[in-house]
Amino acid sequence: MDYSQLVFALKSGDMKTANRLIGEATLILRKYLISKVNATPNDADDAIQQMFEYVIPKIISDDITNPTGILSYMLKAARHSYYKILRDFDLDKFDELEEQLVTEADQAWKLMDEEQASLLMRCIESLRNGYREFASFIFSYPGANTEDIAENFGLTPANAWTRKHRVLKKITDCVNLQA
């Protein structure tokens, strides 16, 4: 499919067309990342989001010289974003986070009984490392706003908000399944 219209829609400010085409492209990109590079659905979503944060400004600033090749460009950029997510995955931090979650109790931990804390810990441990880091931050700083989270993780506020809510949804779903 030709996504050159996405380039023209973004440059002309036609957000209705741009959003429709981005939605269509997202489905293709997600399927590609899951089937070709074995990304999990969540990692694929993160990689696609990072890719769009990179590609859209390039389109708007006329750095894209071949609009007919934009889908190929987005596929490559999404794949590279996914590899960057994998590269930034740091196993060494898991032990530190695990200790922090167990030893640095805050008000939320004090309100839970031992069984609930154990269930919550199992759910947090089942998250991939980046999400575990988010969960650790959220539970360590329950009053942190989106800007605080974005600054701590070097993300845009929109990306931080999305990731925070994904992490909380994953933990909630896990707890509900195991309860």
Every domain of the chain and the residues it spans: 4-88, 92-178
> Token pair 């070709």 is at which residue?
36
d(CA 157, CA 137) in angstroms, rounded, equals 15
> Token pair 């949804």 is at which residue?
169
Would you say residue 77 has pLDDT above 70?
yes
Q: Which two tokens stand for residue 66?
A: 């071949």
Contact between 165 and 173 (Cβ < 8 Å)? no
Tell me if the domain spanning 92-178 has CATH number 1.10.10. Answer: yes
DSSP result, 112-136: S-HHHHHHHHHHHHTS-HHHHHHHH
What contacts 56, CB < 8 A, 6 or more positions away?
10
For 23-39, write each residue's pLDDT tens digit: 888 999 999 888 888 88
For 89-134, write each residue's pLDDT tens digit: 655 555 554 555 444 444 444 444 566 777 788 888 888 888 888 8
d(CA 77, CA 81) in angstroms, rounded, equals 6
Average pLDDT over residues 63-89: 83
Other C-beta atoms closer than 10 Å to the C-beta of 74 total 23
pTM of the prediction? 0.50
pLDDT value of position 48: 92
Closest Cα to residue 127, out of 72, 69, 167, 81?
A: 167
Provide long-range contacts, Cβ within 8 A and 24+ apart, for 94-103: 94/129, 94/132, 97/132, 97/133, 97/136, 98/125, 100/136, 100/140, 101/135, 101/136, 101/139
d(CA 33, CA 39) in angstroms, rounded, equals 6
